[in-house]
Each structure stands twice: as structure tokens, then as C-alpha cells.
Amino acid sequence: MSVPEATPLSERELVLTRLIDAAPERLFQAWTDPKLLPQWFAPRPLTTPVCEIDLRVGGVCRTVMRTPDGVEYPNEGVYLEIVENRRVVFTDAFGADWAPSGKPFMVATISFEPEGGQTRYTARAQHWTVADREAHEQMGFHEGWGQCADQLAELLAQR
């Protein structure tokens, strides 16, 4: 696995990309299977004890990340676009039945593109404001999402 350059498309975006030694179908499955996603989704030592996936446009995706001392970080959103084996787009701007969330934070676009026998995995987080992007960066976007991408690659190497 290598760490190629990634360029944000706007000042409100954070982006992370990796070349992962697995087919796009396997990465898509790891992002959409509620049994697989908890195995890599939270940066260690955090865990993901809750994972609910209703894989359809408008379907809810809900996870809870938990620290070793029991602090929980719930995340809920809906899927905006699903292109099998190529792309998953979701947002926290809405919850179940398209109910607006209290404070929308981002739209995430996760893409899987074949490249030289590997897959270019790209995660883009588009934020409503520059301040939201800056807050996400300070929360450790690159470190946390990068560690999760590494854990994803490790999981797929074992399967």
C-alpha cells in the first residue's frame, strides 16, 4: 500500500487517498457490510460496537465509536448515492425519513477506482463551512481516517 497525493477540490474539503491491494468490490463490501465495517472503521483503540446500514438512497447509516474508557461518539446519516463497487456518498445533514439533523457537518464521498491491479481508495469530506473543515482537520481527520484506511487494507489483506 502506498500513500499517493490527494488534492482537495475546494477550501471546504478534506481528502485522503490510498492505493490498496484489493479489488474495488472488496472495498465496497467492507464499507457496506455491517459485519465488516466495525472491524476497521474506528481508529484503534476505539471500537465500533454499533453499526446499522440500510444500503439504499435515503437509507440510514448509523455507527457508534467507543473509546476504551466507554465514551461513545454516535454518528448518523443517510446515503445520498450508491454506485455498486465504485462509490458511496452519505451525509450527516439528515437522519431517518430525511429528518434534518441538528447541525449538518459534512458530505462524505468514498470512491473505489481500479488502478494497476490495485484500487485507488479516496475519501472526500466536504463541509458546509471552512470553519467546519478546520474543526474536522483539528479533530485529526488525516490521522484518524488514515489509520482507518490502513486498518481497512490490513483487513482485506487477511481475507
pLDDT digits (tens, 9 = 90+) for 114-148: 999 999 999 999 999 999 999 999 999 999 999 99
Treating both helix axes as pointing N-terminal to C-terminal, what angle do 141-158 and 24-32 enclose, rounded to 10 degrees? 110
CB–CB of 136/11 below 8 Å? Answer: no
User: According to the model, what pLDDT value does residue 97 have?
Assistant: 92
Question: 3-class SS at 69?
Answer: coil
Domain assignment of residue 82, yes or no? yes
Domain span at residue 76?
Answer: 13-158
Please list the ranges in the chain whose pLDDT falls under 50.
1-2
Domain assignment of residue 74, yes or no? yes
Domain assignment of residue 4, yes or no? no
Structural domain total, the chain: 1
Q: In the chain, which ranges are continuous DSSP H helix? A: 24-32, 130-138, 141-158
The CATH number linked to 67 is: 3.30.530.20
